[in-house]
Structure 1
Amino acid sequence: MQKSYINNVEEWKQEFSFYVPIQVRFSETDMFGHLNNTVPFIYFEQARIEFLNHLGLMQTWMRNETKSIPVVADLQCDYVKQVFFEEKLKVFVKVASVGNSSMDLHYLGVNNQDEICFTGRGTVVQINPEIGKSVPWEESQMTQLLI
């Protein structure tokens, strides 16, 4: 399983620590009983929000006086193994790189046997919603991102 954003899958896996537990719901499966191909993006969102909350970034963006918000600029998912109704997954997320106003996040979905079911990556950009332009990270945000 070689993806453009993964050099060595075993080393890449070891870099993750934060995850959210997920149990596949019936409504997330298709007529063949396996996870619909759109659902990992929902899992990525859940993991991303909880991760950014864990880092303390969501609290900054949610304040009324804040002049910036996070926006997903792109998102990619690579499907490795089928997932079925009631399976228990761990969806991991980590910061892969940080730019001036963006960050590249990587995602990893594994089952109870620690088998990779899907991987992904995506860019989140901090923007000013009033003008629609990117906003550089503040020093405190950079500290949180580079932990």
Structure 2
Amino acid sequence: MFHTTIEPRVSETDGVGHINNTTVPVWFEAGRNQLFALFNPEWSFKDWKMIILNMNVDFISQIYYGKEVEVYSWVKRIGNTSLELYEEIHQGGELCAKGTAIYVHYNVHEKKSERIPDAIRLELQNHLYTNM
């Protein structure tokens, strides 16, 4: 599992007084930084390797400004060239949002997907979600 703590900002709070629903996908992406580092340790956009294909979000409970948010990301499935993530956002110990994302390992220069390298595949297995 990958874990990231986020401190909600005032600008992410909407007129109803809770964190705007457009913020949640951004927070899920912030929770993927450790995953991105596996594929691109130099953080070079010139050689970026992860292209998102699909993302789904289920909103479970409201999230508020003033309390930290915990983002958890697990690897749900590892394919030949792609992987699926399962993600959750918690605030105050309560599940507030959950979702999935599918990424493909992609060569931007050749404009085609590539097999996930064995060394990365082994590391990804350390983050498998086993509660499903």
The TM tier, using the shorter chain, reads 0.7 to 0.9
Q: For the residues of structure 2 that align with 1:62 and 1:140, how far apart are their CA atoms? A: 20
Distance in 2, matches of 1:139 and 1:108, equals 27
Between Structure 1 and Structure 2, which shows a larger proportion of helix residues?
Answer: 1
Which 4+ residue blocks in structure 1 deviate beyond 2 angstroms?
50-53, 60-64
- Over 3 Å counting, the alpha-carbon distance change for 1:51 and 1:142 in structure 2 is closer
* Offset, 1:89: 1.1
Structure 1: gaps spanning 5 or more residues: 1-16
Deviations 1:71-115 (A, max 9, x none): 111111100001111221101001011000100011111112x11
SS at match of 2:41: helix
| Inter-CA distance 142–94: structure 2 relative to 1 (3 Å threshold) | same
RMSD over equivalenced CA pairs, Å: 1.9
Q: Percent identity?
A: 25
The 5 A counterparts of 1:19-34 are: 19-34=3-18
Of the three residues 26, 41, 44, the one matched with 2:28 is 44
Q: TM-score, normalization: structure 2? A: 0.86
Structure 2 gap segments, 5+ residues each: 127-132
* TM-score using structure 1 length: 0.77
Task: Give the conservation status (yes or no) of the 8 Å contact 1:73–1:122.
Answer: yes
Write the letter of the residue equivalent to 2:58: D
